[in-house]
Chains A and B, each alone.
Chain A
Amino acid sequence: MKKIKIIYILGILIITSSLNAQQTPSPAQSEAVTIVGATAHIGNGEVIKNSLIIFENGILTQVLDATTTKMQYRGTIINAEGKHVYPGFIAPNTTLGLVEIASLRPTDDEDEIGEMLPHIRSLVAYNAESQIVESMRPNGVLIGEVVPRGGTISGTSSIVQFDAWNWEDAAIKIDNGLHINWPNSFKRGRWWLGEERGLKPNEKYPEDVLKLTQFFNNSRAYIAGDQKQENLPYKSMETVFTNGKKVFVHVDGEREIVDAIQFKKDQNLRDMVIVGGYDALKVADLIKAENIAVLSPRPHSTPNQDDEDYDYNYKLAKLLSDKGILVGLESSGQMERASTRNLPFYAGTVAANGMAKEDALKLITLNNAKILGIDDRLGTLEKGKDATLFISEGDALDMRTNKLTKAYIQGRELSLESHQTELYHRYSDKYENQKKE
């Protein structure tokens, strides 16, 4: 018991001491900023080769072609000739801030017990001082959707920006979406019981889908009633039915996607997003016809089957876009939190596999903003939107040239340092000093 206590205290000490390395959030923008001469990647497919960008009080006031416009520069002037400006990249479907060290349960707040948990809200557990969140920023990932995991209805997500003192300040859009893990028509063979490995048909699939339908029906009935008896799960569904909350359905299989779309129709849901959608291409026409957007899985993953094209995952987002579907990129999967900083390179990979570069950029800017319902403020470099953007020395979708010199969230210039860069400097200095000795 004593030993456990000591470990516990030790753990707290270590975690608190490391938290000290967190970068201090910047104060509100006090002076206008003008960026001159950069190639501006607007995020909607357009590029301004020699741009003039001005923002004030956290809002973009001008985004113009510098070669054709005469405009008075304002405030701090940044000469960014030869450099590139991008809107801050948006990472949907992440667990950033919910887990710090994957193998340590005390740092894990992503998965609540229970099956139907619309009342569970990610925002309140979001750790604004996470070292992982901090490490997103030097790569241009400035906005994220924080999503609970597990269960059939995992809970309610919120959207945050990555430079804040606390979750309340971080919030961009509170309770933006309901997240459903669609039941699977396959189940894994329980090999430890002597069953064959691999997936086999799940006989309980119709039953699982029915449970979901019943939950929706019950919620609707409850809300229509006098609600005398408190029921938090049912009550929290209200904004789903009034279309205040988007429904994100995490689903991969062809059959499941078709069933989920039928569910959308049956439940009269206006706004549904498919998250994952590994087989979405097979039913692309149906998805298009129902105006459903897809958050396509990270291209840096391997095909599910031996027979599939080796580059299937690389090009899936492109092929879906070609069908006229609104597609964004998400980054869930193996080591999903730490790997989310590779979001720009996921878009780069899609560009390498047939998509025009500016279209690939849209996958992590405007399209993600639209899909998350924040395109009124974010996702492009357009007048009137938040000044959430960054300057990179080169093409930000390629790891060779993704080198940020400045980044802003709502006009506030943020630190590009992190726990990691501090260690970098500390030990680089160590060896530099050794050389001098």
Chain B
Amino acid sequence: MRLKFLLLYLVISSGLNLYAQDYFPNNDGVNSKNTNYTVFKNAKIHVDSNTIIDNGMIAVREGKLTAVGKSIAIPKNSIVIDLKGKDVYPSFIEIYSDFGMKKPAKAGSGNGQPQYNASREGYYWNDHIRPETNALESFTFDKTEAEKFQKNGFGAVNTHLADGIMRGTGMLVSLNAEGSEGDRILKDKSANFLSFDKSVQSNQSYPTSIMGAMALLRQTYIDAAWYEKGNISTKDLALEALNRNSTLPQIFKTDNLLDQLRADTVGDEYGIQYLIFGSGNEFERIAEVKNTNATFIIPLDFPEAYDLENPFMANNVSLQDMKRWNQAPSNLMQLAKNNIPFILTTQNLKDEKKFRENLLKAISYGLDKKKALEALTTTPAKFLGEENKLGVIKQGAWANFLITSGDIFDKETVLFENWIQGQKVVLENMNTVNLEGKYSLAVDGKNYDLEITGKPNSPKAEVKLGDAKIKSKLSYTDTWMQILLSSPDSTKTEYTRLVAKVNDDVNKINGRAILSNGKETSFTVTKSLDKAKEKDKKEEDKNDSILPIVPLTYPNLAYGFKELPKQEDILFKNATVWTNTEKGILEKTDVLIKDGKIANIGTNLSAGKAKVIDASGKHLTTGIIDEHSHIGASAINEAGQNSSAEVSMEDVIDPTDINIYRNLAGGVTTIQLLHGSANPIGGRSAIMKLKWGENAEGMIFPDSPKFIKFALGENVKQANWDSKSRFPQTRMGVEQVFTDYFSQARDYETAKKTGNYRKDIEMETLVEILNGERFVSSHSYVQSEINMLMKVAESFDFRINTFTHILEGYKVADKMKEHGAGASTFSDWWAYKYEVKDAIPYNAAIMHNAGLTVAINSDDGEMSRRLNQEAAKSVKYGGISEEEAWKFVTLNPAKLLHLDNRVGSIEAGKDGDVVLWSGNPLSIYSKAEKTLIEGTVYFDIEKDKELRKEIAQQKNMLTGQMLTAKNGGAKTQSATKKEDQKMGCDTLVTY
């Protein structure tokens, strides 16, 4: 019995399978292949975004479009469907998804200690490089998910296993739920996927940072090329796969705007143009986005309004988040306007029903409908190499198309049917007779007024008897209409039930009525008016109206610039000028800044065309330079290995960090963004000018010398946290790490000279150090390790440029002097760990007196904005003269950074990086009033006051908009507070 049932089921399902392969044996019954045509006529056919056939025809057979045109021959074996008044569009393509993928198994927690080596053999040394992954192996067709896509109009999905930095190949799948995998798999290797996120299948530590991920990608590409040339004797299945996948489209998933640009940077270096999964915030840096020349995959996801009803919560929402809510719906319009190609995706949408709502919202914010259609059809098709098969209505293409009630980008339009590979998926019955209108309803001797509104498949009724409203319920399915009428006396639980079959003619409907007393009779509904009320529509339009958009700023948060500030020629008159030269501190002196440089210093200088600023009673200095900073960065430490010379802080500059602005307000103009101290050999530095408003690249100090961070002591031996598996665990081991790496670097250089060598980014960096082309700034505390590092360097014939922190420098100042090292220290920090037990605030003074170049640094986003005060502490602790103390935060760090020929003093020819102070810059009572970089005013205390007012106004306006949105029924998110992440040497940013 059971077997029979199963057999019957098989027959039915194979019967549905209309295009099983001819060469498959058939034991289910007789051959019953359906080769009939389905012909659609009288449709408005949107062939693609540019071509429309009015009153056109299409023919479908065996899943494909066999003919498309104004008038086509109708074969005899055709079923003809009239689509008069309806539109036909190509079904959409989802290019980014993990549809049908089995979740990868997470790696166990192991022994609780970090894992440094790969778990796999025969593959690349890093577990997060998995280009050999084949999505097909994890795929099962997911009917429930498929339905969601179908409802939104999608016909095909490009899916992949979203796991790892290199994620392997994805597959293109048809959403044809009726077919077999044989029908559905359109391409088993459709694209190669990448991201900056590590695999969950391995706990291998490296990389722990975004810059590490970037470095890893670079080295992998280099190694793959080296492997391809046959230079590696062992098998590496990952590199082989990567080389194999290189001809596929390369899709790169990112999570934010900065990462989008970072991904493109890496791609460009290896001649790869990624298709980049974007953030939806592209509008914030549209020029940079355009510059990538990439096509972007944009999630159709807009931020929800914040729930600001509770003012305590509301206080915590940042202007940045509020602005993004207000501006993000215009993002697609901006992309289109700037001719940046993009593809739309439903990925990231928490609720797939939002897809259409957001699409229409984007259009109401000015997105061109053609571009929208392209982004869902032709553009993704082209990238997948399927432009003749998908996303277009033409002969030979898959019969993937949508039947709609009209313009698909119109709010009122209903999606009726989504045909996928010739299989019909009904979303709404398109043959439903529209009941909308006003009627009179006659039953049981009474005449009711009946008004029906709403969409054809979900009408609503309102019934009145005279002026009295009668409670009613209308249901309308499958041509049957049922109305439940309450008694006019609302205290009674008596109902009249009406049922009628609706024909094409809705002017008069007759049916059967069952009265409250059980008697049956007939009723009649007669139409009096076609359209129901108009007022609803108006109300809806109001909700759709576009809110005033808050102006974009650079960066797009509080205190950003609406327009980037411009270089000016400025003459400061009558200032007390701290020159940092042999001229010392000059009273009542003029300084002229011209073309970004300091042009002249003197008295009674003529302004020419320069703007004159009266600086009487004020002090003018060169900008403060922080030798050791961690502001303006997305990550600080690559802690996954004991050497990370391959990573660069230039890769992770975050120009949106508010601390940049706050540093300007403290007179800081230049910083060295250093890698952290998680490992003996850290990463390369970024030397930055704090040009607030610029992009990451624009903040890099042009042609700045190369630096790298080293670290010693408790942090690198991981003494203060429970990590006991990584070498080194002692200061003895630290010496050997350096000796080992520099020995390797020397060997590498020898091999490099032969011409035949495997390029290694880490080794390249170390060779630069050996050759004096890259300078070392080493985190250091106790005298033993300071001495040790100098001796290691000397044994390899190079010098340590700077010891940073160097809190026991005062104990070995003579040895540092002999070695030629400089010192960059804290003014008065100590007692936070054992190795700073002997840190003393006199350190700077002693080292200075011993003849070292001494700087005072911050290593802290708070202290960095008060470095003038930190310098002043040297006057207190150790009696340094004010003039010399000031150099601790200006000229001396410039010297340590080999930039003293360009910044660090006020003399003609140097960069116009100056600060106007309200008084003596070392006094606690003084404030920076203007901070200039290369003649451009980046901070102005008066402008700051205006900005504060503007921020308050904008927040107020946006709060109003959000409250209105909430009252209008919009979904909201609870107010979350953006927390400033304080970055220091020890900061491990997991990403």
Contact = CB atoms under 8 A, between A and B. Distances in A.
A305 to B, nearest CB: 6
Contact of B924 (A188, A304, A398, A428): A398
Given A279-B315, A307-B319, A352 B832 contact: no
A26 to B, nearest CB: 23
Contacts of A431: 813-814, 846, 849-850
Interface residues of B, number: 70
A97 B831 CA distance: 12
A192 B989 CA distance: 11
A212 B922 CA distance: 47
Nearest to A186: B977
A400 B866 contact: no
Given A300-B862, A431-B850, A306 B831 contact: no
Interface stretch (B433-441, B734-742, B798-806, B875-883): B875-883
A32 B830 CA distance: 37
B979 interface: yes
Interface stretch (B348-356, B546-554, B656-664): B656-664
Interface in A220-261: 253-255
A391 interface: no
Interface in A189-203: 189, 191-192, 196-201
Given A306-B320, A338-B830, A420 B925 contact: no
15 contacts: A101-B833, A101-B834, A104-B834, A198-B979, A255-B312, A302-B980, A310-B944, A337-B831, A348-B924, A352-B926, A353-B927, A399-B876, A421-B842, A423-B840, A431-B813
B316 A186 contact: yes
A201 B974 contact: yes
B978 interface: yes
A403 interface: yes
Interface in A389-437: 397-403, 420-421, 423-424, 427-428, 430-431, 434
Interface in B808-861: 810-811, 813-814, 828-834, 837-838, 840-842, 846, 849-850, 860-861
A13 to B, nearest CB: 14
Interface in A323-360: 334-335, 337-338, 341-342, 345, 348-349, 351-353
A423 B813 CA distance: 14
Kindly name the residue among B557, B813, B876 whose own CB sees the greatest number of chain A CB atoms within 10 A.
B876
A279 B311 CA distance: 13
A376 interface: no
Contacts, number: 168
Given A305-B978, A423-B840, A345 B924 contact: yes
Given A101-B832, A102-B831, A424-B846, A307 B558 contact: yes
Contacts of B390: none
Contact of B975 (A103, A104, A201, A400): A201
B501 interface: no
B665 interface: yes
Contacts of A421: 840, 842
B951 interface: yes
B763 to A, nearest CB: 34
B800 to A, nearest CB: 20
A196 B318 contact: no
B924 A335 contact: no
Contact of B662 (A197, A302, A345, A397): A302
A273 B980 CA distance: 27
Contact of A399 (B315, B659, B924, B948): B924
A341 B982 CA distance: 22
A132 interface: yes
A310 B878 contact: no
B980 to A, nearest CB: 6
Contacts of A189: 976
Interface string A90-115: 00000000001111100000000000
B180 interface: no
B384 interface: no
B491 interface: no
B833 A342 contact: no
A185 interface: yes
A349 B925 CA distance: 7
A20 interface: no
A306 B832 contact: no
Contact of A198 (B850, B882, B977): B977
The 9 A-B residue pairs whose C-beta atoms are closest, nearest first, are A199-B977, A348-B924, A103-B833, A424-B842, A255-B312, A307-B558, A306-B658, A420-B840, A352-B925
A154 B948 CA distance: 38
Given A306-B658, A351-B924, A427-B810, 4 more contacts: A302-B861, A304-B980, A400-B872, A423-B838
Interface residues of A, number: 64
Nearest to B863: A300
B878 A424 contact: yes
A398 B658 contact: no
A309 interface: yes
Contact of B862 (A302, A345, A397, A402): A302
A434 B817 CA distance: 13
Nearest to B307: A201
Given A399-B924, A427-B811, A306 B980 contact: yes
B923 interface: yes
Kindly name the residue among A200, A307, A421, A430 whose own CB sees the greatest number of chain B CB atoms within 10 A.
A307
Given A185-B312, A191-B990, A302-B980, A400 B876 contact: yes
A427 B813 CA distance: 9
B814 A434 contact: yes
Contacts of A191: 990
Kindly name the residue among A18, A192, A351, A420 whose own CB sees the greatest number of chain B CB atoms within 10 A.
A420
Contact of A338 (B658, B831, B924): B831
A318 to B, nearest CB: 13
B978 A198 contact: yes
B976 A335 contact: no
Contacts of B974: 200-201
A397 B872 CA distance: 12
A353 B810 CA distance: 35
A345 B878 CA distance: 18
A427 B831 contact: no
A262 interface: no
B862 A301 contact: yes
Contacts of B936: none
B955 interface: yes
Nearest to A305: B318
A424 B846 CA distance: 8
Nearest to A253: B312
B198 to A, nearest CB: 14
B732 interface: no
Contacts of A254: 312, 315
Kindly name the residue among B662, B720, B831 whose own CB sees the greatest number of chain A CB atoms within 10 A.
B831
A352 B841 CA distance: 24
Given A424-B842, A427-B811, A352 B927 contact: yes
B73 interface: no
Nearest to B945: A309
A342 B925 contact: no
Nearest to B861: A302
A92 to B, nearest CB: 20
B873 A399 contact: yes
Nearest to B656: A306
A303 B665 CA distance: 13
A348 B920 CA distance: 14
B923 A398 contact: yes
Contacts of A196: 976
B313 interface: yes
Nearest to B955: A307
A199 B558 contact: no
B169 interface: no
A188 B979 CA distance: 9
Interface string B79-120: 000000000000000000000000000000000000000000
Contacts of A198: 976-979
Contacts of A345: 869, 924
